[in-house]
Amino acid sequence: MDMTWFDEMEKRIPVGKVRTRFAPSPTGYMHVGNLRTALYTWLIARHDEGTFILRIEDTDQSRQVEGATEIIYKTLTECGLTWDEGPDLGGPVGPYIQTQRRDLYRKYADLLVEKGAAYYCFCEKTESAEDTGDFTKREDDPCRSLSYAEALARVQAGEPHVVRQRIPHEGQTTFHDVIFGDITVDNDTLDDQVLLKRDGLPTYNFANVVDDHLMGITHVVRGSEYLSSAPKYNLLYEAFGWPIPNYVHCSPVMRDAQNKMSKRHGDPSYEDLLAQGYIAPAILNYVALLGWSPKGENSEREFFTLSELSGVFELSGVSKSPAIFDIEKLKYFNAHYLRELDAETFFALAQPYLKQAVKNPAIDLRLIAPLVQPRCDTLCDIAEQVDFFDALPQYSNELYCHKKMKTDEQNSLEALKAVLPVLEGIGDWTYDNLHDALVGLAEKLELKNGRIMWPVRTALSGKAVTPGGAVELCHILGKAETLSRIQTGIEQLS
Q: Which residues are catalytic?
A: 263
- Which residues have CB under 8 Å from 314's CB, separation 6+? 47, 295
d(CA 303, CA 324): 18
Say what angle helices 148-156 and 102-114 make with each other, to 10 degrees. 150
How far is C-alpha 11 from the geometric centre of its chain's CA atoms? Answer: 36
**Identity (one letter) of the amino acid at 371?**
L
Phi, psi of 307 (to 5 degrees): -65, -40
119 CB-near residues (< 8 Å, 6+ apart)? 113, 143, 144, 146, 151, 163, 164, 166, 192
CA atoms within 13 A on the CB side of 143: 26
Kindly compute the dihedral angle of the four CA atoms of residues 16, 72, 37, 270, in this order, to the nearest 10 degrees.
Answer: 150
Positions of E strands within 348-396:
none
Check if the beta carbon of residue 44 is closer than 8 Å to that of residue 315. yes
**Which H or E run includes 20?**
strand 19-22
CA distances from 191 to 92, 138, 186, 244, 249 (A): 35, 8, 11, 21, 21
Report which secondary-structure segment, H or E, holds 128. none
Q: What's the Cα-to-Cα distance from 364 to each of 262, 355, 359, 360, 476, rounded to whole Å? A: 42, 10, 10, 9, 7
Side chain identity at 393, as an amino acid letter?
P
The candidate with the shortest Cα–Cα distance to 210, out of 220, 223, 199, is: 220
Q: Where are the beta strands (DSSP E) in 158-271?
A: 162-165, 172-177, 181-186, 194-196, 219-223, 246-250, 253-254
Verify cis geometry, omega within 30 degrees of 0, for the bond prior to 95: yes
Which one-letter amino acid corresponds to residue 271? E
Task: Give yes or no for a contact between 42 and 22, defined as CB atoms under 8 angstroms apart.
Answer: yes
CA-based max dimension of the chain: 108
3-state secondary structure 247-258: EEEECCEECCCC
Could you write out the DSSP letters of every residue in 87-123? Answer: TTTB-TT---BGGGGHHHHHHHHHHHHHTTSEEEE--
